[in-house]
Amino acid sequence: MANYRDLLPSQQGWIHELARAEVHPDAESLLNLNSSSDPQQVVEESAVNFLTELREAFQQNVRVFNSYSEAGARFAEVKLYSIAQSAADFMIFRNQVKLVVSNVSHGVIQLNFNHHIKGNFGVENQGLDVRGGGDGAISAELIAEIGPFRDVNWTFRGERITAEQVAKFYFSEFVRITRDSRRHRGNNQLLLDQIKALLQEKGLDL
């Protein structure tokens, strides 16, 4: 069991709000500080916190991965960008492939792969479809579930997951996919077959 001192600041915010309300009880009602009683607000705050944890985990992965290129290994580095006009959405990019991590709707965080191809009029966006038809991108959805004490758990296919698990798996797949993209640039069907095989090996027929 984790020590209380090991908790992230985002996981301790409730105690600070409780203490501030004790010092200034009138402000709590005026400013609606007691948002923990609103399930919708609880989920929205949890989505931002979980996205922040995901971004921090991805940033660490990017930093370590890119350090090998900086040391002379000479491979394409992974870039991480914030997404404008969003609370905590972000994306990673390499070799014309991006992985977008975003809060697409209430209680839903989506991880979405897209492939950029250059056409006659600049860069176009093409979904990497492994589901056999259509233009949908490779995507996975993390779903929020509210527990008995208004705690929020994030799940994938009904199983509780952590930000570290998600970041490790999808960063690993992103690196493999973008490595294949570099080798087989210009052959989209071969790229799609490679991606489908990689994910099926992991038991994720998305």
Half-sphere exposure of 96 toward its Cβ, with a 13 Å CA cutoff?
21
Residue 59: predicted pLDDT? 97
**Per-residue pLDDT, 117:** 45
Same domain for 129 and 29, yes or no, is no
Are 25 and 88 part of one and the same domain?
A: no
Grouping H, G, I as helix, E, B as strand and the rest as coil, residue 28 is: helix
Question: How high is the pLDDT of residue 148?
Answer: 86
Q: Is residue 3 part of a domain?
A: no
Q: Which amino acid makes up residue 76?
A: A
* 24 and 44 belong to one structural domain: no
- Is the whole model's pTM more than 0.85, yes or no? no
Distance CA 40, CA 18 (A): 19
101 plus 16 within the same structural domain = no
- Residue by residue, pLDDT tens for the chain (206 residues) are 455 455 555 556 778 888 888 887 776 555 555 555 688 999 999 999 999 999 999 999 999 999 998 877 789 999 999 999 999 999 999 998 999 999 999 999 999 998 754 433 333 344 443 333 334 357 899 999 998 888 899 999 999 999 999 999 999 999 998 986 555 554 555 666 666 667 777 666 55
- Note the pLDDT of residue 58: 98
What pLDDT was estimated at residue 191?
62
Residue 13 domain-assigned (yes or no): yes
82 and 159 share one domain: yes
* Domains held by the chain: number: 2
pLDDT of residue 119: 39
* Residue 38, pLDDT score: 82
Helices (H), the chain: 13-23, 25-31, 39-68, 163-183, 188-201
| Domain interval for residue 15 | 8-37
User: Helix, strand, coil % (nearest 5) of the chain?
Assistant: 45, 25, 30
